[in-house]
Amino acid sequence: MSVLPLVFTSGWASGINAYAVVLLFGVFGVTGLADDVPASLQRTDVLVAAGVLFLCEAVADKIPYVDSIWDSVHTVIRPIAGAVVGALLAGQSGSLPELAAGAVGGSTALLSHFVKAGTRMAVNTSPEPFSNVALSLAEDLGVAAIVTFAIFHPVAAAAIAAVLLLMGLAVLVFLAQRIRRFRRRRSQRREERRLAAMERSPRAQAPPGGSEHF
C-alpha cells in the first residue's frame, strides 16, 4: 500500500490541473529525480502534449468565465487523468491493484475538480479580473509544490492534500449556501416589486376627480 499516498495526492492535483501533474511526473522521471515514475509518462510525445495543454490551461484559467467553460469541458477529463495516473503508479510499484488505484485517483480528482469549478464560478461574480489571476497562480503553484513534495514525502503530501480537499469542500458548501440565499432574496425582491406594480396599476387607471354620478 506504499503507493496509495502518492496516488491520492496525484488524484487531488489532477482535479485542479491534470496536465501539470502529467508534465511534472514526466519531467521528474526523465531527469532521474524520481525512480518510480511510469515509463509511459516519460515519453516525449506525452511530455510535449502535456506541456502544450498546460500552457493552454494557464491562459484560459485566468480569464473570467472562460475558466468556467474550460472547467466544464474538463469535468470528465480530469477524473480520467487522475484515474489513469493512479493506475500507472500502482502498476509501476506493484503494491496496490491498478483498479483500486484508478478508483482512488479518479474519485479524488473528481472531488477536487468540483471544488475548483465551484470556487471559480463564485469568483467570476467579482467585477475585477485580478482575483481570477491570483487564484489561478495559487492553484498552479500549489499543485507544483505538493506534487514535488509528494515525490519525496508521499505520506506528508497526502495529508496536506487531504486537508486542502476537506477545506475546499467546506468552502464550496459555504459558497453554495450563500449563493442560494442571495438568489432567494433576489427572487423575493422581484416578487415584491411585481406586487407593488400591480397595486399601483389600478390606481393609475382610476378616473381623476372620483365618480361623476350624484
Give the pLDDT confidence of 42-83 residue by residue, as tens digits: 999 999 999 999 999 999 988 888 888 999 999 999 999 999
Q: Which candidate, 70, 57, 60, 66, places its Cα nearest to that of 21?
A: 57
This prediction has a pTM of 0.81
Higher local confidence (pLDDT), 181 or 11:
11
Q: Which range has the worst mean pLDDT, 13-17, 107-111, 205-209? A: 205-209
- Average of per-residue pLDDT values in the chain: 86
Percent of the chain with pLDDT over 90: 54
pLDDT in tens, 168-195: 999 888 877 776 776 677 677 776 676 7
Percent of the chain with pLDDT over 70: 86
pLDDT confidence of 206, banded at 50, 70, 90? Answer: low
**Cell 487523468 identifies what position?**
81
Q: What average pLDDT does this structure show over 133-158? A: 92
Q: Which candidate, 112, 122, 105, places its Cα nearest to that of 174?
A: 122
pLDDT confidence of 204, banded at 50, 70, 90? Answer: low
CA angle, 81 as apex, 48 and 129 as ends, to 5°? 75
How much is the pLDDT for 42?
93
How much is the pLDDT for 64?
85
How much is the pLDDT for 214?
41
Cα distance between residue 88 and residue 158, in whole Å: 18
Contact 165, 12 (CB under 8 A): yes
